[in-house]
Structure 1
Amino acid sequence: MIIIMRISKASQRAAAKEATHARIVAVAARAIRRSGYDGVGVADIMKEAGLTHGAFYAHFASREAMLVEAARQACAESASVATGVAASAPPEQVVAAMLGAYLSKTHADQAETGCPLAALGSETARQAPEVRRVTTRHIKEMVDLLARQSPDWGQPQAHAQALVAISTMVGALLLSRAVDDPALADGLRSAALKHLTPTHD
């Protein structure tokens, strides 16, 4: 009985630590998209997560290790949204639905929960190799997801078209967030959407 109780308590502690770790990563994933990699400090992350600064090293070996996990979480969240949009749209409307959701004003206004490529793309080249590797994998996954919707899937042109689409989507979203003219911001996203979906009304 004592052994069972000890195992149970150990399991509860492990589960609690895992939940706390996940909370820190979730906070950091939002923070890097909101403030950039260089704008994220350990103390601020821990405070936002409701934890002490000293507890950080029970979960991560370094700030860089946390940033890698935060980048991975941000990419996973973005991929999940894209996959959900694709799954919920009729087959003939999947591409238009994905592009429309990505280039929407709602997405543009929600940087801290949106695509990490647009939020962090210009900074990623200066990050640790592990962060760049996470980003590279995410880009490949998004290109593949988009290419699979093409009737030419399996052919080189489907991959090339997906590369152009991803580049256009991310660039348009990034620029629309950068400008201080709402009409220009809307115009950038709208022009990109019309370019990528010529039949879009």
Structure 2
Amino acid sequence: MAAAARLFRLRGFDDVTVAEVMKDAGLTHGAFYGYFSSKDALIAEAVGHALPPAPDRASPRRPAAQYADGYLNVKHRDDRATSCLFSSLGTEAARGSAELRHSMTEAIRRRIGHLGSEAEGDTPREKRRAAIAAWSAMVGAMVLARIVDDEKLSKEILSETRASLPLVQ
């Protein structure tokens, strides 16, 4: 699954063949249908594997401000193979299977919950609004920072988005 998730993030769903995934995973192309019923099933499984798991209440998670710092930086921007699925494959996933979209929806809910626990606001509704705005800005900023061909502008998009986030600093 890691091989498929990495290839999909690098090149997108359409530009990766089943044969490439199987070869990268050290398996033969013929073995594919022993594992998956279709390429869509492979996509859903690979994305599900690469999505962040539900938080474990026993282990502390990274504070929201630290998460934002780690997300909105050049290293994350340039590491497409292991970076955020939402900024790498979001537009493609929007056209994906119901199973894929559901997996991504649940991961988005978890991220909003994580960010909302530390977002600015006096009420749960205000904190949730701030978390949604922060997550949307972060993913959007990463997409834009990858699109532009001007390094200075790309870095500015990342840094100015981080500075604007309604998260406890």
Q: TM-score, normalised by structure 1?
A: 0.76
1:27-56 Cα offsets, whole Å, 9 max, x none, are 111111111111121001011112110011
More helix by share: 1
Matches within 5 A, 1:83-122: 87=61, 94-122=63-91
**Partner-residue secondary structure (3-state), 1:112:** coil
Specify the alignment match of 1:62 in structure 2: 38
Specify the alignment match of 2:47 in structure 1: 71
Specify the alignment match of 2:141 in structure 1: 172
Specify the alignment match of 2:18 in structure 1: 42
Indicate which of 186, 192, 196 corresponds to 2:155. Answer: 186
Task: Give the Cα separation in 2 of the matches to 1:199 and 1:129.
Answer: 35
**Partner-residue secondary structure (3-state), 1:111:** coil
Q: Supply the AA of the counterpart residue of 1:26.
A: A
> Runs (4+) of structure 1 moved beyond 6 Å?
none
Gap runs ≥5 in structure 2: none
Q: TM-score, normalised by structure 2?
A: 0.89
Is the CA contact (8 Å cut-off) linking 1:147 and 1:153 kept in structure 2? no
Mark the CA change 1:154 to 1:198 in structure 2 (over 3 Å): closer, same or farther.
closer
**Sequence identity (%):** 36
**Partner-residue secondary structure (3-state), 1:113:** coil
Gap runs ≥5 in structure 1: 1-24, 89-93
Report deviation, 1:154. 6.3
Mark the CA change 1:197 to 1:72 in structure 2 (over 3 Å): closer, same or farther.
same
Higher relative contact order (CA 8 A, sep 6+): 2
Q: Supply the AA of the counterpart residue of 2:33.
A: Y
Task: Give the Cα separation in 1 of the matches to 2:22 and 2:95.
Answer: 24
Matches within 5 A, 1:147-166: 147-150=116-119, 152=121, 155-166=124-135
Mark the CA change 1:54 to 1:199 in structure 2 (over 3 Å): closer, same or farther.
closer
Report deviation, 1:96. 2.1
User: Rg: which structure is higher?
Assistant: 1
Is the CA contact (8 Å cut-off) linking 2:120 and 2:166 kept in structure 1? no
Task: Give the Cα separation in 1 of the matches to 2:100 and 2:65.
Answer: 30
**Partner-residue secondary structure (3-state), 1:51:** coil
Task: Give the Cα separation in 1 of the matches to 2:123 and 2:51.
Answer: 25
Q: Over aligned residue pairs, what C-alpha RMSD do you find?
A: 2.2
Task: Give the Cα separation in 2 of the matches to 1:74 and 1:59.
Answer: 18
